[in-house]
């Protein structure tokens, strides 16, 4: 891990620079000044989130074609898989620190999500289970639609966020979230548990316990968020 700490820190700093740059330019946007402090902060954080999901989804693509990882889903690693883990850990380090600084705004669930994600990808520097790194990062496929939905409901840009655009984005969000985070999330989690159990004599027990508990927590949190999304969608469509 110590070999990759500088890389993780550089990634975290890069995302914070993006956040600071966003904080300089977003006050120039129409409607931004009317937002509360919490929503202004959230607005800027989501800009970083949009950049991050584009970057990480681009980074993980080659890992799906890495035959060495597919041939040994438990112990195969590569320099590139460590690089992907560094990119993910760097973002979640930044995200965790932001959630700590703004804990009063975002609360316990978001802080725990950041810390557990950070720890899971930090354990990725143990030479095992790198096959699963890109598969769990597919969760980020839903992030752009989550953020667009937030923007459309919190800032008045009628020429961009038309009713039709907002509804279409909402439908895509629900579909992508369901398949990427719920269906594939639990499918990959169960297969990860099988791999962890198969290698129980060769992987430290605390890593095994945290990977199982952490992934179960994150997948359960996704289920909770999804049920809230469905409730909001029903309410929205019933009003229209």
Pair 162, 228: CB distance under 8 Å: no
Give the whole-angstrom CA distance, residue 177 versus residue 146.
9
CA distances from 130 to 7, 77, 109, 185 (A): 18, 6, 26, 16
Give pLDDT tens digits along the chain (240 positions): 678 899 999 999 999 999 999 999 999 999 999 999 999 999 999 999 999 999 999 999 999 999 999 999 999 999 999 999 999 999 999 999 999 999 998 888 889 999 999 999 998 899 999 999 999 999 999 999 999 999 998 998 888 899 899 999 999 999 999 999 999 999 999 999 999 999 999 999 999 999 999 999 999 999 999 999 998 877 766 665
Give the whole-angstrom CA distance, residue 18 versus residue 39.
17
Give the whole-angstrom CA distance, residue 223 versus residue 185.
10
Q: 195-207: buried (b, 16+ CB within 10 Å) or exposed (e) per residue?
A: bbeeeeeebeeeb
Pair 196, 212: CB distance under 8 Å: yes
């Amino acid at each position: 891990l110590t070999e990759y700490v500088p890389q993780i820190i550089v990634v975290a700093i890069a995302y914070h620079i993006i956040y600071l740059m966003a904080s300089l330019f977003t006050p120039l946007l129409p409607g931004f000044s009317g937002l509360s402090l919490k929503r202004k902060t959230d607005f800027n954080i989501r800009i970083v989130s949009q950049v991050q999901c584009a970057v990480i989804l681009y980074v993980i693509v080659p890992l799906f074609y890495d035959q060495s990882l597919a041939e040994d889903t438990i112990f195969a690693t590569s320099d590139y898989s460590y690089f992907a883990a560094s990119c993910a850990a760097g973002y979640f380090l930044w995200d965790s620190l932001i959630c700590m600084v703004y804990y009063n705004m975002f609360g316990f669930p978001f802080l725990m999500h950041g810390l557990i994600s950070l720890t899971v990808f930090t354990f990725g520097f143990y030479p095992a289970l790198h096959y699963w790194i890109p598969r769990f990062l597919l969760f980020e496929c839903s992030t752009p639609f989550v953020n667009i939905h937030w923007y459309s409901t919190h800032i008045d840009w009628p020429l961009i966020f038309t009713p039709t655009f907002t509804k279409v984005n909402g439908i895509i969000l629900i579909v992508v979230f369901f398949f990427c985070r719920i269906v594939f999330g639990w499918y990959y989690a169960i297969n990860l548990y099988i791999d962890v159990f198969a290698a129980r004599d060769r992987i430290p027990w605390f890593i095994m316990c945290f990977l199982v508990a952490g992934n179960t927590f994150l997948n359960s949190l996704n289920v909770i968020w999804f049920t809230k999304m469905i409730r909001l969608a029903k309410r929205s469509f019933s009003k229209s």
